[in-house]
């Protein structure tokens, strides 16, 4: 599994709708509107590493109102959510 964090800067006119558009993309586990230099953060959880480029450059960056993105790929994941999912298989 590949986990990535995508920081997204948007046009002001897209602030009201972009969060929902991001959340509708397959592979985007969560989308947040945030304060600061970036307007949105998308958390990606993908089965295969080769799905990353199509999601980020083929879908997220092509959404109307997206000005720029910055992507960080996780080397390791330290998440209670993932650990609980691992141990709840079959329940």
What's the CATH code of the domain at 42? 3.30.70.920
Q: How many Cα atoms are found within 13 Å in the side-chain-facing hemisphere of 17?
A: 7
Contacts for 15 with CB less than 8 Å, ≥ 6 apart: 33, 39, 65
The structural domain count of the chain equals 1
Tokens 């079959």 locate to 90
Confidence of residue 72 (pLDDT cuts 50, 70, 90): very high
For residue 39, CA distances in Å to 6, 46, 73, 88 come to: 11, 22, 19, 34
pLDDT at 77 (0 to 100) = 77
pLDDT at 26 (0 to 100) = 97
Structure tokens at 17: 């709708």
pLDDT at 42 (0 to 100) = 98
pLDDT at 88 (0 to 100) = 62
| 46: containing domain | 2-87
pLDDT at 78 (0 to 100) = 77
Cα Rg for the chain, rounded, in angstroms?
14
């Amino acid at each position: 599994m590949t986990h990535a964090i995508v920081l997204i800067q948007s046009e002001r006119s897209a602030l009201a709708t972009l969060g929902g558009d991001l959340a509708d993309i397959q592979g985007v586990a969560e989308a947040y509107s945030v304060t600061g230099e970036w307007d949105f953060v998308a958390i990606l959880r993908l089965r295969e590493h080769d799905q990353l480029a199509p999601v980020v450059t083929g879908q997220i960056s092509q959404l109307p109102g997206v000005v720029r993105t910055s992507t960080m790929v996780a080397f390791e994941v330290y998440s209670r959510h993932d650990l609980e999912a691992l141990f709840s298989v079959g329940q």
